[in-house]
Amino acid sequence: MLDSILESIQVVALPTKTDFRSIQVREVALFEGRAGWGEFSPFLEYGAKECVPWLVSGIEAAVVEAPRPLRQKISVNATLPALNSREEIVTALSWYPGCTTVKIKVGSNLSEDLARIAIVRELLPTAKIRVDVNGNWSVDHALAVIKEMYAGGELEYIEQPCGTLEELRELKGRLEVPVLIAGDEVIRKSANPLALDLRGAIDIVMLKVAPLGGIKRSLEIAKMHGMHAIVSSALDSAVGISYGLKLAATVPELNYACGLATGELLKNDVATLPIIDGAIAVKSVVPDSVALNENAISPERLSWWRKRVRDTWNAGAQEWVSKEGWDS
């Protein structure tokens, strides 16, 4: 299995359209198996142990047929980075034709956050607004900010306002406005998401197929916690996004738009997944050979990625894959 990955691996560097969480270039490793293409794209600062589920997800995509889909297209939200000028926001929203839900990055500067939300509400008065904090607030700060944000108009939900499960539970118990809380990092960064007790802390489970270890495990997590689920991405290439779409297509109940349109944040990609009337079709993706060549990284970086795959394999991916029986 490891030899097969290393033989077919191709790594690309995909520039972003704007600074997205301090990322200007997204490096992505792709490899092909009997069931299609897989992606391995943990963020560069992650150590081998944290990379394990990302590699397992890519392997699952490459060697295991995805479950039969329950739906053929997935409604998606627009994702708005921390942009501040009206012109930049208008441009960014234009990347998402037909989307009626907007997820807005917030958390670093309250006045700028409120202004950004206000501009979106002015431009798209009927859109559902959700905000993503990435765990940057304390409980007390979150209580004050959420109340102020909610005063400007209804929020669909707030994603990961605080960093820890204990903080989220305290926040939810003290909230004075009717807003839902979604959990992201608290789930995907957990050593064992299946062992978490999320009751009284969040209302919505965010499922990101790569950091959770693939479709099978993501569905287990959703079933275990019995909450509404939303499938989102980790700034994947079109290959990774296509696998997220397959996960979204198999979640039993999907009542919210999914965060699977983040390919629009990339200047270049390895394939196209067009947004039509606010939705993306569920399909397998084959990387374009020209795009692979034009965005290929240097031989030195390719060697770095090969070593990263080996280290991740030895850090736990081999054991996981063997347990699933995918190495036969």
**What's the chain's length in residues?**
328
CA gap 29, 11 in Å, rounded? 4
List alpha helices for 152-232, DSSP H.
165-174, 185-188, 209-212, 215-225
Q: Collapse the DSSP code of 284 into the 3-class scheme (helix H, G, I; strand E, B; otherwise coil) and give the result.
A: coil
Contact between 93 and 124 under an 8 Å Cβ cutoff? The reply is yes
List alpha helices for 82-179, DSSP H.
86-93, 110-123, 139-151, 165-174
Catalytic, out of 103, 172, 208, 216: 208
Catalytic, out of 105, 172, 216, 246: 105
Provide the β-strand partners of residue 28.
12
State how beta strands 157-159 and 36-40 pair. unpaired
The DSSP 8-state label assigned to residue 9 in this structure reads: -
Neighbour-count burial of 188, counting CB atoms closer than 10 A to its CB (0-12 exposed, 13-18 middle, 19+ buried): buried
* 105 in catalytic set: yes
Alpha-carbon Rg for the chain, nearest whole angstrom, is: 19
Contact between 40 and 31 under an 8 Å Cβ cutoff? The reply is yes
CA gap 115, 305 in Å, rounded? 40
Sign for the pseudo-dihedral over CA of 14, 56, 316, 318: negative
The DSSP 8-state label assigned to residue 113 in this structure reads: H
* 73 in catalytic set: no
Q: Calculate helix-pair angle for 86-93, 110-123, nearest 10 degrees.
A: 50
Sign for the pseudo-dihedral over CA of 104, 107, 46, 229: negative
- What are the residue numbers of the active site? 105, 208
